Structure 1
Amino acid sequence: MSITQQHLLDTYRALRLGEIAPPAPGAHDRQVVREWRADRRFRAVVAGRPAQGRIRRALSRWLPHPRPGATR
């Protein structure tokens, strides 16, 4: 059963029982991502690591830097 079919079945059951229909799939995805990001930053600070810019800093170590005065 797909997530859409499950949602439709849950909505039908809720309406038959006089309950509130469940939220649509993906309705709170942005909020979940924001909370996950905030938790990750909090854990980084508690562990003594920088809270922001970790990906860019890691990529800068792996990617070659352009030399000053070099032409492409």
Structure 2
Amino acid sequence: MTVTQQYALDVYRAAQRGEAAPPAPLLDEAAAVRELRDYRRFRAVVAERPARGRIRAALARRLSGHRGHRGHAAGC
């Protein structure tokens, strides 16, 4: 049973019993992920590092260095 199906069943049961509906799934998780992202950006700024695009920049450096290494080996 998926999370959505379980939620629908819980809402149905609550309605049958006259109780309040349970909170929607994954709302707290999304807020926690946003809070973690904001905290990591804050820590990057405090440490005087770029707050955005660090992963993409690191991958670009890695890939460009990797290509250069292959070209150098081919020239030997």
* Runs of 4+, deviation exceeding 2 Å: 20-23, 31-37, 43-46
Higher helix share: 2
User: Number of paired residues?
Assistant: 62
User: What's the C-alpha RMSD, in Å, of the aligned pairs?
Assistant: 3.1
Q: 1:52 is matched with which residue?
A: 52
Q: 1:70 is matched with which residue?
A: none
- 5+ residue gaps in structure 2? 66-76
TM-score (norm 2): 0.51
- 5+ residue gaps in structure 1? 66-72
Alignment of 1:26-45 (within 5 A): 28=27, 32=31, 33-45=33-45
Measure the CA separation in 1 of the matches of 2:64 and 2:43.
30
Deviation at 1:21, TM superposition (A): 4.6
